[in-house]
Amino acid sequence: MRKIIHCDCDCFYASVEMRDDPSLVGRPIAVGGRAETRGVIATCNYEARAFGVHSAMSTSRALQLCPQLVLLPPDFERYRVASRTILDIYRDYTPLVEPLSLDEAYLDVTGVDRCQGSATLMAQEIRARIQAEVGITASAGIAPNKFVAKVASDWNKPNGQFVVRPDEVDAFVAALPVKKIFGVGKVTAAKLRRQGVETCADLRAWSLAELTQAFGSFGASLHRLCRGIDDRPVKPDRIRKSLSVETTYANDLPDLAACHAALPALIAEFRARFGRARETRPVHKAVVKIKFADFVQTTAECVAAAPDDGVWHALLEEAHARRGRPVRLLGVGVRFVEHDGGEGGQEAQIPLFDALPGEARGKP
């Protein structure tokens, strides 16, 4: 039986900002891009959340909900400095640390003898050290597997923790809304709701065959996770499966010619990032991403061992032809050759075109 801790700092970027400028404490603040450049909120503090502001929301919408919102540009160098200290604290307890973002990670403390072997006491000690050494708070979930631990870490946020013991997993998961299952977004949740499925207990009435028929390969994951079954190990080295850059334009690119004109600058930015990454694995595919003015999104990709500008321009034409409307966002990138022959765990893939690390993905 594993002992897994999922540790997650509370509104990490905003917490670092409040730590460094105490005058911000108690005021609604958010870290993100400016409204006039179509920015999005990377994270916000709990005072801002009281107005309905949340991560991944457009900055313009956030300012409508909270006109007194203090908007701060992200300072990733300061966040990375804090992150290194946090990860060092995690690794002081176990080498089995799987980072999910700058501040969030799974820890497998099975067999660790610190704190009398108690994962609950280790989580308390880790959180206390983060507060003392970094100056921000963190929350934790403790459970026999990764899925339940991650859900549990949200239970007593901020600055709290929650433990789900092995004999409590079944009842804990049964009562969860299906949207708590990793990979169940608005579309899947709505599809399940139309079938009368609101909770994991409801979903358990579906057989594996029925779920597979309705949701393809994802059906098998739904069948396991709604029962609290998650055998994924904590993997200390998460493999990057893609690398990319993207830009949201202040003014829509009106046509294909304007997109072609904008692409060289984006490619140059990608090549600079690719050089910094020092990636040794061979490239497998080139990818172009487009988000049209109506927010419809599409990607085009092709096999390319060493994509040149011509490959990305050709993919741009393919993607643009699918809708032929003004474009608000362009992205270019590559996918790497995978040596393990499979997709791995559900959370192993770093999303393509991950513009902001960690918090812009909608973490609590």
Task: List the domain boundaries for the chain.
Answer: 4-12+77-165, 13-75, 170-225, 242-339+347-354
Strands 297-303 and 242-253, by their bridges, are unpaired
Three-state secondary structure call for residue 315? helix
Residue 103 is assigned to a ligand binding site: yes
Least confident interval from 168-172, 196-200, 312-316, 341-345: 341-345
53-109, pLDDT tens digit by residue?
999 899 999 999 999 999 999 998 899 999 999 999 999 999 999 999 899 999 999
pLDDT of res. 193 = 92
Residue 8 is assigned to a ligand binding site: yes
What is the pLDDT confidence band of residue 347, given thresholds at 50, 70 and 90? very low
Report residue 68: phi and psi, to 5°: -90, 10
Per-residue pLDDT for 343 more than 50? no
CATH of 13-75, one of 3.40.1170.60, 3.30.420.140, 3.30.1360.230, 3.60.21.10: 3.40.1170.60
Q: Do the two domains 4-12+77-165 and 170-225 of this chain adopt the same fold?
A: no
pLDDT of res. 273 = 82
Residues in the chain: 364
pLDDT of res. 179 = 92
Element (H, E) at 87: helix 76-91
Whether 98 is catalytic is: no
Cβ–Cβ under 8 Å, residues 343 and 335: no
Cβ–Cβ under 8 Å, residues 330 and 296: no
Give me the CATH topology for the region 242-339+347-354: Dna Ligase; domain 1 (3.30.1490)
Q: For residue 154, give Cα distances in angstroms to 32, 48, 127, 208, 235.
A: 22, 18, 14, 29, 22
CA distance 34 to 245: 19
254-292, pLDDT tens digit by residue?
999 999 999 999 999 899 888 877 777 889 999 999 999
CATH class of 170-225: mainly alpha
Per annotation, catalytic residue among 47, 104, 246, 301 = 104
CATH architecture of 4-12+77-165: 2-Layer Sandwich (3.30)
CA distance 63 to 36: 11
